[in-house]
Amino acid sequence: MTENEPRTALDTRFSSPDATATPWSEGREALAAAELYWLSTVRRDGRPHVTPLLAVWLDGALHFCTGPGEQKAANLAHNPRCTLTTGTNTLHEGLDLVVEGEAAAVRDDAALRGVAGAYVAKYGEEWRFEVRDGLFHHEGGQALVYAVAPVTAFGFRKGVYGQTRWRF
């Protein structure tokens, strides 16, 4: 995947009068640095499913993994459209982020080795995966890996409140 520069716009309806748009470089850095994300998918019957997970930013996309028998894997097999969110749990400071896109399965072993290395670099040895046959393998079993390149992303700045939209 390649890194795309988005069109950036401040939504003045939801922003303080003195707010400015958050640069994508700052949003991207915050996405890369976050420790925990929330993945929202849709079940076959239309009900939402939200779960916390770990992810890494690599090559213009957030990457995450899940067991093939987990609900999020079933949801994504039926409908790859999803949202990943992260941010701060505070009202008056920080930057909350929302990434909308489609989860694309990553099955190439070379690409998976890059993602596996990013997991270890970010989360430590406890998150080391062996790569083979298009999957992550670990003592608990195997995992599918997905990449979500942003189609649209939002940054919600707090303090001087500003809602920025990035369209890719």
Whether the predicted pLDDT of 2 surpasses 70: no
pLDDT above 60 (res 16): yes
Domain presence at residue 126: yes
Total structural domains in the chain? 1
State how far the alpha carbon of 72 is from the alpha carbons of 7, 22, 50, in Å. 30, 31, 8
Q: Per the domain annotation, does 1 fall within a domain?
A: no
Residue 100 lies in a domain: yes
- Residue 1's pLDDT is 57
DSSP helix/strand/coil, 121: helix
Distance CA 156, CA 134 (A): 36
Mean pLDDT score of the chain: 97
Question: Domain for residue 58, yes or no?
Answer: yes
Looking at residue 140, what is its pLDDT? 87
Domain interval for residue 31:
7-167
**Residue 80 lies inside a defined structural domain of this protein:** yes
Does position 102 have pLDDT exceeding 60, yes or no? yes
d(CA 53, CA 70): 12
Confidence category of residue 11, pLDDT binned at 50, 70, 90: very high
The answer to the question of residue 50 being in a domain is: yes
Residue 122 above 80 pLDDT? yes
Start-to-end CA span in the chain (Å): 13
At residue 90, the pLDDT reads 94
pLDDT in tens, 33-89: 999 999 999 999 999 999 999 999 999 999 999 999 999 999 999 999 999 999 999
* Assigned domain for 2 exists: no
Q: What pLDDT is recorded for position 76?
A: 98
pLDDT for 3? 75
C-alpha Rg value of the chain to the nearest Å = 16
Residue 84 domain-assigned (yes or no): yes
Q: What is the CATH number of the domain that holds 46?
A: 2.30.110.10
